[in-house]
Amino acid sequence: MFRPGIPSLIHNALLIFYSCDARKRLKTKIRYKLMRKTVYFLALILVFGSAPLVGNQSPAGNSEAVYTEAVYNEANATLSDYVLTNSGIKIIYPLFSTPAIVRKGGNFSIMVSFDGAPEQWECEISTAYDIVCEDYFLAVEDEEYNPTSGLWILNVTVPSNVNEDLYNITVVAYSDGDKYQADEPKSVSVVNEFKNNFSFVHLTDFHIGDPRGMTVDVRKTIGWKAARKSVEEINLLNPDFVIITGDLVFGQLYPFEYSVEYRKCYKILQQFDVPTFLCPGNHDGYIQTGQDGFRLWEKFIGPLYYSFNYGDYHFTSVNSYDWPAPSRWAISYAPLQWGGHIREEQMKWIEKDLEHSTNAKARFIMLHHNPLWDTKNDSLLKNGNYTGREELLSLIEKYNVSAVFDGHVHYDNVTERNGTLYITTTTCASELSAEDAYWGYRLIEVEDGKIVSYNYKEPKYSIPLYRLNCTYSENDGSASTVSAEIENDLEMNVEATLHFYVPPGDYEVDNGEIIREAEANGIERVDVSTSIPPTTSMEVVIHPS
């Protein structure tokens, strides 16, 4: 039996190994190539010797595709693609990785897998993750069972008095005298309105479990501090939402590694205070020692491809590592393929999705591999042509896609082709692949249907990580005067949002503006907006008025 504590011990040992000089010597051209060839033959032995253990684990294309609320026509997910909870009920949409963004007083659909015909449904949203917990019941307007997908579709309405925030959702089914409950954290974002001018962050190559980040900074790699720091800084910027374009985990160190990394990654992602949309990369989908990374993606994260709307703006999330199972095999540092590949079934879905979005004010695509670049060399045998990229480029031009967001290469790049921006963002926590590269993320600003800002510095650079810090004094609801020290080492003005927890009362703020107040359990939460000039430190203080 593989004991739970063993993977962590092996993982820490391998982290140290890959950060030392031995790894650098191994990666000299001659030895590294010999190592890859040797491991390749071992991989072939493992593939043919272990195939019965894994079976056909290639995800069944569109069976994982879930139309989110704004573009939902028919539920395409099948129950076999998801792992049910012990209670026999599971929320398929919305998820923390495919959240619903809905206006106050608006409605949306919840997709639930449940084997039965409940006499009654109840739905509730809450901020149970916050010390000031707010909860609201959602009115279930109607329900419908889809026999094709095996899913229940619940149409619900959000009360008009709900505060603008990110909420957990709970769905309860009452059937034959029993109560069945399913919960999904941070999966419903309630907004006052869909903005015509809005912002979102592009983050990529999270790489939980990847030791290569130690080549940049050992201290910031251990404990995945860089990944956590990116979440912290993005929360401070408080964009309307975040897109993360793959390689959330690593999957190349030791047997059964994915089980550890996906759980750790899930916990870190729960630290986001803003809605977050995810798509997979190659590191998320390797098959090693009988573990299929994409099966764990579906278990811990969600669908492999889908689409969503923010108001009149449409986003298509693509799985660009859509290789059949035999091509996703890997052993340690030697996967068979790590480049792009989009199969016909998903391509048909992409075209259908873009065709249905022609009324959108703007269309965007998020994926891991930039379709402008072939990835033939991203293959052990140098035969990994990026199948489907030319067809995808044709669809991008045909449907006038405004921008494509991707990662994979661990450096920044911006290319414009036929009126479409192809925006590649650097990694936030892994090894760097260019002399001018650094850890970072990208803030995208949209105004009246057009992207007006996407570079921290011209011509291509993202916002560098570890240039924005915020430190609170005691902020647990016990003190009526609380300060936040913000250090902005960036060469840009920063609009930040702070959360103060104080005893109930009347308050005012120095160097900031109160934008929201909520009270529960004898604690008041006061949200404050502030503006910090470039390369400046500022103290924001809340105190009784």
Token pair for 173: 């089914």
Question: Within 13 Å of residue 150, how many CA atoms lie on the same side as its CB?
Answer: 13
pLDDT value of position 226? 95
**Inter-residue contact 524 to 487 (CB < 8 Å):** no
**Inter-residue contact 329 to 43 (CB < 8 Å):** yes
Cis? peptide before 459, omega within 30° of 0: yes
User: Quick count: other Cβ atoms within 10 Å of Cβ 284?
Assistant: 28
* Three-state secondary structure of 359-427: CCCEEEEECCCCCCCCCCCCECCCCCCCECHHHHHHHHHHCCCCEEEECCCCCCEEEEECCEEEEECCC
Q: Which fold has domain 62-191?
A: Immunoglobulin-like (2.60.40)
- One digit per residue, the tens of pLDDT, for the chain of length 545 reads 333 454 455 555 555 444 444 444 444 443 444 444 444 444 443 433 333 233 233 333 333 334 443 333 333 333 333 333 447 999 999 999 999 999 999 999 999 999 989 999 999 999 999 999 999 999 999 999 999 999 999 999 999 999 999 999 999 999 999 999 999 999 999 999 999 999 999 999 999 999 998 889 888 888 799 999 999 999 999 999 999 999 999 998 888 899 999 999 999 999 999 999 999 999 999 999 889 999 999 999 999 999 999 999 999 999 999 999 999 999 878 899 999 999 999 999 999 999 999 999 999 999 999 999 999 889 898 877 999 999 999 999 999 999 999 999 999 999 999 999 999 999 999 999 999 999 999 999 999 999 999 999 999 999 999 999 999 999 999 999 999 999 999 999 999 999 999 999 999 999 999 999 999 999 999 999 999 999 999 999 999 99
Partners of 101 in the beta sheet?
Answer: 189
CA-nearest of 490, 491, 465, 475 to 540 is 475
What is 468-544's CATH superfamily? Golgi alpha-mannosidase II (2.60.40.1180)
Alpha-carbon distance of 379 to 53, in angstroms, equals: 24
CA separation (Å) from 532 to 85, 496, 536? 45, 8, 7
Token pair for 136: 């609201």
Alpha-carbon distance of 402 to 399, in angstroms, equals: 9
Partners of 44 in the beta sheet?
Answer: none
Alpha-carbon distance of 88 to 113, in angstroms, equals: 8
Token pair for 350: 């992409």
Measured N-to-C along each axis, helices 257-269 and 5-19 cross at an angle, to the nearest 10 degrees, of 90
Rg (CA), the chain: 23
What length does the chain have? 545
Residue linked to tokens 């759980």: 263
Alpha-carbon distance of 153 to 144, in angstroms, equals: 5
What would the CATH number be for the domain defined by 194-464? Answer: 3.60.21.10
**Inter-residue contact 257 to 288 (CB < 8 Å):** yes
Token pair for 5: 């504590």
Q: Where in the chain is the domain with CATH 2.60.40.1180?
A: 468-544
Cα torsion 284, 428, 253, 9: sign:
negative
pTM score: 0.87
Alpha-carbon distance of 92 to 79, in angstroms, equals: 9
CA-nearest of 141, 143, 102 to 125 is 102
Q: Where in the chain is the domain with CATH 2.60.40.10?
A: 62-191
CA separation (Å) from 75 to 148, 166, 241? 8, 24, 24
Alpha-carbon distance of 392 to 466, in angstroms, equals: 36
Q: Where in the chain is the domain with CATH 3.60.21.10?
A: 194-464
